[in-house]
Structures are given as C-alpha cells and as structure tokens.
C-alpha cells in the first residue's frame, strides 16, 4: 500500500509557504474557535475540538496559546466564524478550490474574486468543481511514532486506503466517511498524530509548462496569503521540472 502521491508534492510546497508566512497558528486558532462554538470547550465531548488541539500540538503551538484560544472562543465576546468555500479556474483551465473561515462573508467574496481576477482566473459557482476533487482523510504520523508491521492490518480494518512514507512521516489516506473511525483507532493504539484533516484531493491532474505553472501558483499563493483563507486545493501537476524551478527561486 505505497506509491508516489502527486498531491504530497503539492502539500509539501504549500507547507513550505505556510511556514515562511507564519500563518499556521492563525489558521489553527480559527479552527479551535469554530470547534468550540460548534461543540463546546470540553475536548473529551467535542471530537472536532480534540482534533484541532491535536493538530495545534503537531505544529508545536504552545499549550498556553491553545488554552487561551479555547477560553476566548468560549467567552461571550468571541469572534464568530463561518465556513465558506469558493470554486474557480486559474489560467489554462487549472481548477482551484478555496476553503475559508471568515467573520465577514462579503469581505471574503470580494477578496477572493479580486485575487482570481488579478491573476487571470475566474470564480465559478459552488458545486461546479465537486466532480474534480474527492474529500479524503489525510493523517501525518512521524515515522518514529509508528510500527507499521504491528498495526497495518488494524489500520486497514479502520479504513486506511493508502499508506506512504515521505520526509520522515507516514501518510495515511482514508475515505471521508472513515475519517472518524481511523482517528479513533489511532487514539486507541496510542499513536501520536502530527496532523489529521479532510483534504480535497484532485481525481486527475493537469500538466503545464514551467512558466504557465508558475503563473498558476502565484494565484494559489495570493489566495493562501489572504487572512480568511484556510486551505487552497488545485489540480496542477507538480512535475519534477516545476519543483526544481520553485526550489531555485
């Protein structure tokens, strides 16, 4: 159950950009906030909050920051975020799916549309790209924290569809409907997870020449820089040539 994941390369590039911008904590705090609003401040009775805390710890967010975020979200004056998504196309027909957590939907719509327009893309109607992406559970586990030989069958029984190893991490993929089962199984096995979330994985990718691809990635990066944006997914093929060009920048 292993193989090369084109999406892993996309996510690695995205992760590098996130680290450079220092935006990870902001995204995590928003996720903690919406989890508390949805299910209360007790992680034992709130699976979404438990997952948000787990991801925050995986990104080395200090315990005080996590507790402060939970307390603030549970207060009467807490900011109220809504989840909104946008779908559109970059140049050369590359599909782009944007997930936001925002306290002002009109601002987000205006900002996302402006970014698409600035970089030669176009915003579409919601649902127009649903056939191009599958929602999958993606779990990242430090390779030192798991003995695959001992637990592989248990993980498959819990819904694992694919297992890969990259950059010192084991990556587990599950169907969206098996996400909760697999997360609970990892908890039961006392396997510490660096991150776990639902991602939109492209069914098929599209290859462009390096110059055209870099123009698409400028749109993606501009979207990721927006304060309301949590995640950006696309179906651009990250070729070896493109990866080399990005690393040489």
What whole-number distance in Å separates Cα of residue 248 and Cα of residue 155? 39
Q: What pLDDT score does 1 carry?
A: 37
90 backbone dihedrals φ, ψ, rounded to 5°: -80, -175
Cβ 233 vs Cβ 133: under 8 Å? yes
Q: Is the pTM of this model over 0.75?
A: yes
Helix (H, G, I), strand (E, B) or coil at 177: helix
- Where in the chain are all domains bearing CATH 3.30.70.980? 82-131+203-248, 133-202
Domain boundaries 133-202, corresponding CATH code: 3.30.70.980
**Homologous superfamily, domain 82-131+203-248:** YebC, transcriptional regulation domain (3.30.70.980)
- Where in the chain are all domains bearing CATH 1.10.10.200? 16-74
- Classified by CATH at the fold level, domain 16-74 comes out as Arc Repressor Mutant, subunit A (1.10.10)
pLDDT tens digits for the chain (249 residues)? 333 344 444 555 555 555 554 688 889 999 999 999 999 999 999 999 999 999 999 888 999 999 999 999 998 888 889 999 999 999 999 999 999 999 999 999 999 999 999 999 999 998 889 889 999 999 999 999 999 999 999 999 999 999 999 889 999 999 999 999 999 999 999 999 999 999 999 999 999 999 999 999 999 999 999 999 999 999 999 888 888 888 876
Distances (CA, A) of 209 to 104, 110, 191, 206, 217: 37, 30, 41, 10, 12
For the CA atoms of 106, 112, 115, 121, what is the dihedral angle to 10 degrees? -120
Q: What pLDDT score does 13 carry?
A: 54
Distances (CA, A) of 96 to 25, 100, 167, 203, 214: 24, 13, 26, 13, 14
* Beta strands at 95-102 and 82-89: parallel, antiparallel or unpaired: antiparallel
């Amino acid at each position: 159950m292993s193989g090369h994941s084109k999406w892993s390369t996309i996510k690695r590039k995205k992760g590098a950009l996130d680290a450079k911008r220092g935006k990870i904590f902001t995204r995590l705090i928003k996720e903690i906030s919406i989890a508390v609003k949805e299910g209360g401040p007790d992680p034992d009775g709130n699976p979404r909050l438990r997952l948000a805390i787990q991801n925050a710890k995986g990104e080395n967010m200090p315990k005080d920051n996590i507790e402060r975020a939970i307390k603030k979200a549970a207060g009467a004056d807490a900011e109220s975020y809504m989840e909104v998504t946008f779908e559109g196309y970059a140049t050369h027909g590359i599909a782009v799916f944007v997930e936001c957590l925002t306290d002002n939907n009109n601002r987000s719509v205006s900002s996302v549309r402006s970014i698409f327009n600035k970089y030669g893309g176009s915003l579409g109607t919601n649902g127009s790209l649903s056939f191009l992406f599958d929602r999958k559970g993606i779990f990242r586990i430090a390779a030192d924290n798991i003995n695959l030989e001992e637990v592989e069958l248990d993980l498959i029984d819990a819904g694992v569809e694919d297992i890969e190893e990259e950059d010192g991490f084991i990556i587990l993929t599950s169907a969206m409907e098996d996400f909760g089962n697999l997360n609970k199984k990892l908890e039961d096995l006392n396997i510490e997870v660096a991150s776990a979330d639902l991602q939109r994985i492209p069914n098929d990718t599209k290859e462009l020449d390096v110059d055209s691809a870099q123009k698409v990635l400028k749109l993606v990066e501009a979207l990721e820089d927006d304060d309301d944006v949590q995640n950006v997914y696309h179906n651009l093929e990250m070729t070896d040539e493109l990866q080399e060009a990005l690393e040489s920048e």
